[in-house]
């Protein structure tokens, strides 16, 4: 199968690193558990300009270079890459394309068939929806922690595994579409992909 994989909070602990950068700068103690939104400004406050500048500074910092992989991701991606074609589809901006490729190469060498940045995070340049890229890459499944991207892909007929590793920002009281499945760990993601493959004759 062809499977789309998000980076941040699915493979990479970006938020944890960003909060370390942010808390150090502002002498605050905001925890990941308090992030009810993945729009950092909604939770942390400040002006749009400040937030954009903070992101740029963060991208240049050691905090960003040293982002840790998400628990269970290394082993599971390695396993999945042996059977399936894995494509990175991230909302990250084009300005960090090189750093993104380097981080993936360091932690997931040769696991990904393509790396696609949809540029939805920061300022300038052309943006794409994840569903557009997903359609182009012919993915059957998308793994993402964002409710917004999950709904976008699901509306285009892509089966979505919504990574919810106790993530406050992707909770909702609304009923999710049938083709979005909330998953709690990387082990569950692998199991879901196996059973999806069997159901659709693509074991």
Binding residues (CB under 5 A) for Mg ion: these are 6, 8-9, 145
Rounded to a whole number of angstroms, the minimum distance from the CB of residue 198 to Mg ion is 27
Closest chain position to Mg ion (CB): 8
Task: Tell me the C-alpha distance between 108 and 92, whole Å.
Answer: 18
The residue among 22 and 149 lying less far from Mg ion, judged by its C-beta, is: 149
Closer CB to Mg ion, 6 or 152, in the complex: 6
CA dist., res. 172 & res. 68, Å (int): 27
Tokens of 195: 């059973």
User: Measured from the CB of residue 113, what is the shortest distance to Mg ion in angstroms?
Assistant: 19
Nearest approach, Cβ of residue 147 and Mg ion (Å): 10
* E strand or H helix that includes residue 154: helix 147-155
Closer CB to Mg ion, 8 or 13, in the complex: 8
Distances (CA, A) of 153 to 66, 141, 156: 30, 9, 5
59 vs 81: CA distance, rounded Å: 28
Which is nearer to Mg ion, 80 or 91 (by Cβ)? 91
């Amino acid at each position: 199968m062809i499977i789309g994989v998000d980076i941040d909070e699915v493979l990479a602990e970006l938020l944890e690193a960003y909060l370390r950068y942010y808390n150090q700068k502002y002498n605050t103690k905001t925890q990941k558990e308090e992030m009810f939104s993945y729009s950092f400004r909604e939770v942390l406050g400040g002006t749009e300009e400040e937030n954009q500048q903070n992101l740029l500074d963060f991208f240049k910092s050691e905090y960003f270079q040293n982002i840790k992989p998400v628990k269970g991701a290394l082993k599971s991606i390695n396993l999945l890459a042996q059977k399936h074609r894995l494509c990175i589809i991230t909302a990250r901006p084009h300005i960090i394309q090189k750093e993104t490729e380097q981080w993936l190469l360091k932690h997931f060498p040769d696991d990904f068939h393509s790396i696609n940045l949809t540029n939805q995070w920061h300022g300038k340049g052309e943006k794409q929806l994840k569903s557009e890229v997903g359609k182009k890459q012919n993915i059957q499944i998308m793994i993402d922690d964002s409710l917004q991207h999950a709904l976008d892909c699901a509306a285009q007929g892509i089966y979505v595994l919504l990574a919810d590793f106790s993530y406050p920002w992707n909770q909702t009281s609304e009923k999710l579409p049938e083709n979005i499945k909330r998953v709690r760990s990387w082990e569950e993601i692998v199991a879901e992909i196996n059973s999806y493959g069997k159901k659709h004759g693509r074991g």
